[in-house]
A and B are shown apart, each in its own frame.
Chain A
Amino acid sequence: NAGVTQTPKFRVLKTGQSMTLLCAQDMNHEYMYWYRQDPGMGLRLIHYSVGEGTTAKGEVPDGYNVSRLKKQNFLLGLESAAPSQTSVYFCASSWSRGNTEAFFGQGTRLTVV
């Protein structure tokens, strides 16, 4: 049982390049989230999804797009990376009812130069 897995773990991008971060969960969770973590600012929600084929904006969605074509996968895309997007990105998933603990992936450290 792998839980929540993020790919890649590290990445360096040049300004203007694009990339996709992949999050996969094997717990059959309905909800999935993408957060970014910056020093002193906690975990800020970028986008989230409440089910296959649905997505919604979080607190800081600008510059990012997401897709959830399959229930177990949630993709985060950067179309044109900027230095301000240098951060650690965490994916998380949870049930929709009952025990709503969010399980996190191991994180992706992204540097945009």
Chain B
Amino acid sequence: GENVEQHPSTLSVQEGDSAVIKCTYSDSASNYFPWYKQELGKRPQLIIDIRSNVGEKKDQRIAVTLNKTAKHFSLHITETQPEDSAVYFCAARLQGAQKLVFGQGTRLTINP
């Protein structure tokens, strides 16, 4: 089955700097890669996703890149703000499969 590894487990950056979180997946048949943000005490919510036929996707300060050859994808947050502080999860879904497999999560802290 699919296995997703996420790094780093914790990340601290200065407000205004960029943050990058990386994930690797094991099954080359995976074709859907979402990123979820979970604020303290709240439910995970989708912030951006990418499909395997696209190499990069941007939404304002957030971008996701996908390298199918290396089987890894990354979340990039630019001009970080205090409200970006949260736990971020990557995930992967195999083509035709029903299961969404999550990474271990990254706790991002934005220092003022």
Contacts and interface: CB of A to CB of B under 8 A. Distances in A.
A104 B42 CA distance: 10
Query: Chain B interface residue count: which class?
Result: 20 to 34
A5 B81 CA distance: 30
A47 B21 CA distance: 28
A42 B102 contact: yes
Interface residues of A, number: 25
Of A35, A41, A42, A48, most buried by chain B (CB within 10 Å of CB) is A42
Interface stretch (A12-20, A66-74, A78-86, A95-103): A95-103
Contacts of A42: 6, 89, 102-105
Interface of A: 31, 33, 35, 40-45, 48, 50, 56, 58-59, 90, 92, 94, 96, 100-102, 104-107
